[in-house]
């Protein structure tokens, strides 16, 4: 609540003549008991005023008072406004109004006749309500037309995927003013600061208030007014899980970019290592989950997100990873990439992000030992590319090894296993983080928790 009040105070108005308005309805009752402050509007007002708000108290059942409050709000400049409305649950129903025990329950049958009589005794009203005028210009979000300029990287060059995201976001925002960036005080780590520096009017700093940030993004996406990209550490997005799931309920068009995923962030330690984020977003209805493994695929993942209507999650990482793809490589939602194969593969390794690099190193070592292994960059965790997985597995003796910088529940291994669960003669082995990790150097942690190249080689030999 404190962060909510302070964030709104500092959000910029869209013009010098507008300010931020909020309404708070106080009906005294919770579900199981009265709320702490009940109808003490003065207490609410003092709390808002302490953060610089202009507070207006009204009877929420009095239309005249409400109209006067909003008229007063229009006169306030350079200060956020909150209208505090006192209301009563069950207003006007004798034996129900302002009483406990009626939350989520229908009106008692014995009271319905009295209610009908009261309604019928009132002067009949005839309403002639005109349809609201849609007096704002229509916005073209250019869904399907948002394009980045071709990436400019060299094969083998090491670039963090989080940095490539910042580059792509600026490219998209340059050609579409309705693409916005929101961040939770992590812009210098998520690289959304590139947009903040280049086009500050297309960036909203939400501070460390992830629930507020996600709620704001959902609002910004309403009625096709903008395409918001929300970025912070992937671990911190879990704080807004309820807002994210409610965004899915209302079919919000919001893009989430979670950086600093997995143990590969290294020294920052487990409090900031996202190891549950794939599970969170895979569980969101109709969501798209993309996990790019290099700078090129990250830029195209960002472009794909802007052109998809609905919730998209892009998982980016902290370490600088070698560029795997040519700058003109084509990517699609629901498509994986076979980055290594031969005509005599004995297994296929499925990886993503930092573990793709480990998988390629492991495949090279296995080849030296006389064992050919195909390698798939999963890229699209959801929807998953079942066809590519199945075809490659069947050409690799039906042996599949998944490796991921994530806990097992909800991760890549479970996604692959679910996709191939109805196929006979497919054997799947999985490598993933199996315990709460500790702080350390990234390479040391990959090795300690069993997802480094040497562990992939060892697991491959168990088939």
Per the domain annotation, does 92 fall within a domain? no
Structure tokens at 87: 């209301």
% of the chain residues with pLDDT over 90 = 84
Token digits for 379?
Answer: 């890229």
**Domains held by the chain: number:** 3
Q: What is the chain's alpha carbon radius of gyration, rounded to the nearest angstrom?
A: 27
pLDDT for res 7 = 53
Q: Do 331 and 304 meet the contact criterion of CB atoms below 8 Å apart?
A: yes
The structure tokens listed for 200 are: 């500050």
**Residues 138-189: pLDDT tens digits?**
889 999 999 999 999 999 999 999 999 999 999 999 999 999 999 999 999 9
Omega cis (within 30) before 383: yes
Predicted pLDDT of residue 125: 64
Residue 175 sits in the same domain as residue 278: yes
Calpha distance 116→242 (Å, rounded): 39
For residue 384, the domain's CATH number is 3.40.50.920
Asked if 190 and 301 sit in the same domain, the reply is yes
**Same domain membership, residue 308 and residue 204:** yes
pLDDT in tens, 271-286: 999 999 999 999 999 9
CATH number, domain containing residue 179: 3.40.50.970
In 217-340, at which residue ranges do the beta strands (DSSP E only) sit? Answer: 227-233, 255-259, 288-291, 312-315, 320-322, 337-340
Asked whether residue 131 is assigned to any structural domain, the reply reads no
Please tell me the distance from the alpha carbon of residue 310 to that of residue 286, in angstroms, as a whole number.
8
Q: Is the predicted pLDDT of residue 17 greater than 60, yes or no?
A: no
Q: What is the pLDDT of residues 399-442, one digit of tens each?
A: 999 999 999 999 999 999 999 999 999 999 999 999 999 999 99
Distance (Å, rounded) from C-alpha 353 to C-alpha 451? 12
* 26-56 exposure pattern, b = at least 16 Cβ within 10 A, e = fewer: bbbbeeeeeeeeebebeebbebbeebebbbb
Q: What is d(CA 140, CA 143) in angstroms, rounded to the nearest whole number?
A: 8
- Specify the pLDDT at position 119: 78
Q: Are residues 305 and 162 in the same domain?
A: yes
- Supply the residues annotated as catalytic: 210
Domain carrying residue 226 = 158-322
pLDDT tops 70 at residue 12: no
Q: Specify the length of the chain in residues.
A: 463
Instruction: Compute how many other C-beta atoms are within 10 angstroms of the C-beta atom of residue 181.
Output: 29
Confidence of residue 291 (pLDDT cuts 50, 70, 90): very high
Residue 112's pLDDT band, with cuts at 50, 70 and 90, is confident
pLDDT value for 19: 66
Q: Which two tokens stand for residue 90?
A: 């069950």
Average pLDDT over residues 379-403: 98
Q: Does the global pTM surpass 0.85?
A: yes
- 371-399: burial string, b at 16+ Cβ within 10 Å, e else: bbbbbbbbbbbbebbbebbeebbebbbbb
Residue-wise DSSP of 369-400: TT--EEEEE-EEEETT-HHHHHHHHHTTTTEE
Domain-terminating residue out of 296, 322, 348: 322
> Is there a single domain that holds both residue 374 and residue 249?
no
| Backbone dihedral angles phi then psi of residue 5, each to the nearest 5 degrees | -65, -40
pLDDT bracket for residue 14 (50, 70, 90):
very low
Question: Would you state the pLDDT for residue 2?
Answer: 52
Beta bridge partners, 19, equal none
- Claim to verify: residue 306 and residue 392 sit in the same structural domain: no
Confidence at residue 8, expressed as pLDDT on a 0 to 100 scale: 54
Rounded Cα–Cα distance for residues 352 and 341 (Å): 16
Higher pLDDT, 14 or 50: 50
- For residue 236, what are its two tokens? 């911190």
Helix extents (H) in 2-150:
2-10, 41-50, 63-75, 109-121
- Tell me if 105 is assigned to some domain: no
Q: Encode pLDDT of 302-346 as tens digits.
A: 999 999 999 999 999 999 999 999 999 999 999 999 999 999 999
341 and 388 co-located in one domain: yes
385 and 317 housed in the same domain: no
Q: Which two tokens stand for residue 39?
A: 């109808």
Question: In which band, very low, low, confident or very high, does the pLDDT at 367 lie, cut at 50, 70 and 90?
Answer: very high
Indicate if 181 and 301 belong to the same structural domain: yes
User: Whole-angstrom Cα distance, residue 343 to residue 327?
Assistant: 27
For residue 9, what pLDDT is reported?
52
Residues 248 and 284: beta-carbon distance below 8 Å: yes
Residues 318 and 177 in one domain: yes
Compute how many other C-beta atoms are within 10 angstroms of the C-beta atom of residue 22: 16
* Distance separating alpha carbons of residues 41 and 43, to the nearest angstrom: 5
273, 343: one domain: no
Shared domain for 169 and 229, answered yes or no, is: yes
pLDDT in tens, 186-240: 999 999 999 999 999 999 999 999 999 999 999 999 989 999 999 999 999 999 9
């Amino acid at each position: 609540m404190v962060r909510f009040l302070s964030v709104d105070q500092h959000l910029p108005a869209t013009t010098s003549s507008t300010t931020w308005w909020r309404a708070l309805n106080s009906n005294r009752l919770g579900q199981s008991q009265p709320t702490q402050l009940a109808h003490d509007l003065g207490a609410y007002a003092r709390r808002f005023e302490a953060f610089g708000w202009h507070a207006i108290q009204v009877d929420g059942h009095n239309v005249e008072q409400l109209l006067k409050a909003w008229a007063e709000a229009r006169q306030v400049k350079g200060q956020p406004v909150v209208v505090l409305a006192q209301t009563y649950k069950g207003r006007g129903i004798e034996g129900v109004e302002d009483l406990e025990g009626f939350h989520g329950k229908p009106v008692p049958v014995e009271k319905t006749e009295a209610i009908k009589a009261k309604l019928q005794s009132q002067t009949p009203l005839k309403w002639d309500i005109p349809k609201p005028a849609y007096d704002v210009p229509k916005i073209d979000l250019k869904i399907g037309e948002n394009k980045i300029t071709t990436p400019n990287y060299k094969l083998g060059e090491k670039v963090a995927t989080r940095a490539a995201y910042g580059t792509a976001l600026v490219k998209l925002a340059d050609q579409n003013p309705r693409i916005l960036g929101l961040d939770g005080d992590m812009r210098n780590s998520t690289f959304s600061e590139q947009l903040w520096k280049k086009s500050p009017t297309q960036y909203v700093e939400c501070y460390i208030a992830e629930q507020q940030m996600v709620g704001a993004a959902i609002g910004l996406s309403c009625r096709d007014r903008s395409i918001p990209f929300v970025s912070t550490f992937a671990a911190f997005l879990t704080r807004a899980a309820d807002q994210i799931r409610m965004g899915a309920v209302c079919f919000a068009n919001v893009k989430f970019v979670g950086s600093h995923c997995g143990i590969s962030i290294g020294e920052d330690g487990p409090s900031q290592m996202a190891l549950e984020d794939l599970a969170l977003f895979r569980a969101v209805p109709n969501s798209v989950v993309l996990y790019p493994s290099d700078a090129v695929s990250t830029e195209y993942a960002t472009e794909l997100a802007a052109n998809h209507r609905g919730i998209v999650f892009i998982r980016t990482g902290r370490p600088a990873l070698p560029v795997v793809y040519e700058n003109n490589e084509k990517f699609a939602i629901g498509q994986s990439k076979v980055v290594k194969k031969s005509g005599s593969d004995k297994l296929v390794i499925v990886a993503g992000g930092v573990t793709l690099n480990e998988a390629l190193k492991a495949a090279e070592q296995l080849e030296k030992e006389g064992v050919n292994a195909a390698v798939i960059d999963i890229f699209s965790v959801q929807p998953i590319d079942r066809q590519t997985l199945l075809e490659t597995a069947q050409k690799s003796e039906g042996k599949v090894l998944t490796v991921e910088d994530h806990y097992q529940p909800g991760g890549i291994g479970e996604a692959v296993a679910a996709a191939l669960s109805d196929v006979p003669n497919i054997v799947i082995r999985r490598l993933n983080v199996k315990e709460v990790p500790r702080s350390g150097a990234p390479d040391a942690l990959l090795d300690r928790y069993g997802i480094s190249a040497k562990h992939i080689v060892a697991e491959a030999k168990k088939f």
